[in-house]
Structure 1
Amino acid sequence: MPISSKLPQVGTTIFTTMSKLATDYGAINLSQGFPGFDCDPALVDLVTKYMKAGHNQYAPMSGVPVLRERIAEKTRLIYGVELNSETEVTVVSGATEAIYAAVTAVVKQGDEVILFDPAYDCYAPAIELNGGIPIYVPLVMPDFSVDWDKVNSAISDKTRLILVNTPHNPSGYVWTPFDLATLAELIQDRDILVISDEVYEHIIFDGRTHLSLLTHPALRERTFVCGSFGKTFHVTGWKIGYCLAPPRLSDEFRKIHQFLTFSTATPMQYALADYLAKPNHYLNLPTYYQQKRDLFCEGLKTTAFEFIPAQGSFFQMVSYGHLSQEPDKELAVRLTKEIGVASIPISVFFSDQRDHKILRFCFAKEDEELMKALDKLQNLDL
């Protein structure tokens, strides 16, 4: 029986492709965005504790109450925002699910959704599967900041949603107070909602402050904020995230969530609740990751690449257009096979696959592994 694909243009993701290539060639994998080190052993002990205590059945659909309370406490501590843990906090099986559920909750056939280009690869498929139309607004290079005049021009009577990402993947750009205020002004008299992907909220550098969209009163009332414990606590394989939204949005969000995964792994939720009780577990994260970013950037200075240190996230982009016009996908493959370092060509993040001769490296790895990768990159022949 023939099948008419709902996503005919989608194939194997570049992240899967490059990680497999790294394995096949024994390369250092700085491509896919996952930490190359384990989580705190205390967190593993907590999971074991709750498994042995018998917390192995379905959790409540919206999340274990104590975890939702701890998320609300964290939000109050960091952002000064009061959330009702019962009606405004939902625990989900990863931020990707949160984004999909939020899109599904509000996007209908023919609705337009503004995306900032380049964008993470799960955004557009979620929109298209729900009958929406992605409208791409290019970010301003080289820092990948937002051109708000172009955003204003992109808004139409059909615009239902704007999907933002700060700190941004792949560039690491961090939104400013001006960005929040301008977005709020643009949509204040329009029926436009917002999804804010903030999975790297605690990975931010050089004294910057992550400005969650929750911190702007007008934006808070119309925004789904999506977060991830996987990125924060080095447990991407657990696939546990959360969505913070006002009650009327959370109600619609939960209607979708209950038919996607219904609930999320119970013992891990209890373990995370205990772990969150000590704020230093996430408050110290910027210092931890800045050391790795600085180490990696210092080493990059000895290579032929050009770069601007990332403002946030655990990715560093490098430019090679001054050296070669080799397509970024070809160079990423060649680096993996010949040099032994895997990266991601950022053309895959652009809606038109435009090649700006930029690669993205993940520096969430052990320092020794980063040093080995930098030694190899010094031998790059372009």
Structure 2
Amino acid sequence: MKELSSRTAGFTDSVIRRMTRISNRYGAVNLSQGFPDFDPPEAVTDRLAQTAKEGPHQYALTWGAQNFREALAAKQEHFSGVRVDPEEEIVVTCGSTEAMMAAMLAVTNPGDKVIIFSPFYENYGADTILAGAEPIYVALKPPSFSFHVGELEQAFRQGAKALILCNPSNPCGKVFSYGELRIIADLAVKYDAYVITDEVYEHIVYEPCKHTYLSSLPGMSERTIICSSLSKTYSITGWRLGYVIAAPHIAGRIKKVHDFLTVGAAAPLMEAAVVGLAFPDEYYYELRRHYTHMKDLFIGGLKDLGLTFTEPQGAYYVLVDVSEFGVRDDVRFCEWMAEKVGVGAVPGSSFFREEVHHLIRLHFAKRDDTLYEALNRLEGLKKKAESYRD
């Protein structure tokens, strides 16, 4: 038989989702795949129950239900200060995963170059390859995960058509400062490049850090393509409600790509989620307070256990250094940890272009009792690791 697609020949399954399956197999506390174990806001689920009886149950408009787009535009304007046209500048997608893929396909041609900061969420490289583009990786240097301006400009000089920016960052929890964003924006304008932003953690930022929307910077509203979703802000990762916000001529192209990728997002879920998009500021204050509590609980526990890690500024992940255990194969170590320690983690090598095998990613979007159970199990890590061998 003829060979299958060469562009997907090097793909593996998602390491993150694989670690969830391994965690389930061994009954481990799953701190690998980033979803909470607490419920969405009651007002949203109540509206979903009502919608299940009343509808809508048929196709919504391909690029999103009217009331959903209007509510999303109002929320985005409120927090970013940038006006958004719900008719011309929003495309509702099946999760931010589709949003990113649709944006890549709409912006790049085969052979174009795309800058990706490393570490990165695992989909970015795959999306670039599926679009036929070539990734250029620029390192974010620990422990601050800052970039070298000269290295970033050199990447732009290679003719990059776009840059992917995850802010706050998954997996390292970095929140890019205003100064760093100005550098990125100035280079994007100088070299006439698009910036595709992943801002799904926009409301999960820890004091004193603040989230700045790149689209609000001078010259960036017309060249920023925002990819995001409701998954993290409203604890509805399974609803798969994402969106793209971009200038009309870009959004218009993305609408066409989206139409042939998935047709449209789920109509009843959009209807129910409108309630969440209309929440007052108090909801977002409480969201930050809740996540700050979970971070402090978990990070405090890691400190007490004597583990080495980089404290996140945003999102809900922490990179833990396991080099003290002589780890050379972090994938094998995470599988061992799920089985022998009972905690699921993601090997850091799945996020880095560089040769990194001494980091694992844990997440803390969990109830207190879940986090305490995970910490209780991790208490035995150092002792059990004495018998661990790569």
Q: Could you say whether these structures have the same fold, taking a TM-score greater than 0.5 normalized by the shorter chain as the test?
A: yes
Write the mapping of 1:1-382 to structure 2, written as runs, cut at 5 A.
1-5=1-5, 6-156=7-157, 158-279=159-280, 280-352=282-354, 354-381=355-382, 382=385
Q: CA–CA distance in 1 between the matches of 2:296 and 2:111?
A: 45
SS in 2 for 1:301: helix
SS in 1 for 2:219: helix
SS in 2 for 1:143: coil
Structure 1 spans left out of the alignment, 5+ residues: none
Most deviating of 155-164 and 324-333: 324-333
SS in 2 for 1:284: helix
1:250 is displaced (CA, Å) by 0.6
SS in 2 for 1:78: helix
Structure 2 spans left out of the alignment, 5+ residues: 386-390
1:120 is displaced (CA, Å) by 1.0
Q: CA–CA distance in 2 between the matches of 1:13 and 1:136?
A: 20
Q: CA–CA distance in 1 between the matches of 2:285 and 2:222?
A: 26
Q: CA–CA distance in 2 between the matches of 1:16 and 1:45?
A: 29
Q: Tell me the amino acid that sits aligned with residue 33 of structure 1.
A: G
Q: CA–CA distance in 2 between the matches of 1:46 and 1:93?
A: 20
Q: Is the 8 A contact 2:234 2:276 kept in 1?
A: no
Q: CA–CA distance in 2 between the matches of 1:283 and 1:218?
A: 30
For residues 294-352 of structure 1, what are the alpha-carbon distances to aligned partners after superposition, in whole Å with 9 as ceiling and x for unaligned? 00011111213112321011111111224534432222111111110010111111225
For residues 165-189 of structure 1, what are the alpha-carbon distances to aligned partners after superposition, in whole Å with 9 as ceiling and x for unaligned? 1011100000111111111211223
Most deviating of 256-265 and 36-45: 36-45
Q: CA–CA distance in 2 between the matches of 1:278 and 1:42?
A: 10
Q: CA–CA distance in 1 between the matches of 2:142 and 2:62?
A: 42
1:157 is displaced (CA, Å) by 5.1
Q: Tell me the amino acid that sits aligned with residue 190 of structure 1.
A: Y
Q: Tell me the amino acid that sits aligned with residue 288 of structure 2.
A: P
Q: CA–CA distance in 1 between the matches of 2:55 and 2:323?
A: 57
Q: Tell me the amino acid that sits aligned with residue 63 of structure 2.
A: S
Q: Is the 8 A contact 2:327 2:357 kept in 1?
A: no
Q: Is the 8 A contact 1:205 1:312 kept in 2?
A: yes
Q: Is the 8 A contact 2:331 2:347 kept in 1?
A: yes
SS in 2 for 1:100: helix
Q: CA–CA distance in 2 between the matches of 1:189 and 1:303?
A: 48
For residues 234-286 of structure 1, what are the alpha-carbon distances to aligned partners after superposition, in whole Å with 9 as ceiling and x for unaligned? 11111001111111111111111111112111111111112222223334211
1:355 is displaced (CA, Å) by 2.2
Q: CA–CA distance in 2 between the matches of 1:263 and 1:183?
A: 32
SS in 1 for 2:261: coil
Distance change >3 Å, CA 29–CA 157, structure 1 → 2: closer
Q: CA–CA distance in 2 between the matches of 1:316 and 1:122?
A: 19
Q: CA–CA distance in 2 between the matches of 1:216 and 1:191?
A: 15
Q: Is the 8 A contact 2:203 2:284 kept in 1?
A: yes
Q: CA–CA distance in 2 between the matches of 1:139 and 1:302?
A: 28
TM-score, normalised relative to structure 1: 0.96
1:92 is displaced (CA, Å) by 0.9
Q: CA–CA distance in 2 between the matches of 1:162 and 1:278?
A: 32
Identity of aligned residues (%): 36
SS in 1 for 2:318: strand
Q: CA–CA distance in 2 between the matches of 1:110 and 1:277?
A: 42
Q: Tell me the amino acid that sits aligned with residue 55 of structure 1.
A: P
Alpha-carbon RMSD across the aligned residues, in angstroms, is 1.5
Q: Is the 8 A contact 1:317 1:359 kept in 2?
A: yes
Q: CA–CA distance in 1 between the matches of 2:256 and 2:343?
A: 43
Q: CA–CA distance in 1 between the matches of 2:153 and 2:357?
A: 25
SS in 2 for 1:220: coil
Q: Is the 8 A contact 1:327 1:355 kept in 2?
A: no
Q: CA–CA distance in 1 between the matches of 2:143 and 2:323?
A: 13
Q: CA–CA distance in 1 between the matches of 2:36 and 2:51?
A: 25
SS in 1 for 2:117: strand
For residues 147-201 of structure 1, what are the alpha-carbon distances to aligned partners after superposition, in whole Å with 9 as ceiling and x for unaligned? 2211101123531111111011100000111111111211223231110011111
1:356 is displaced (CA, Å) by 4.4
Most deviating of 248-257 and 301-310: 301-310
Q: CA–CA distance in 2 between the matches of 1:74 and 1:146?
A: 31
1:207 is displaced (CA, Å) by 3.0
Q: CA–CA distance in 1 between the matches of 2:262 and 2:370?
A: 36
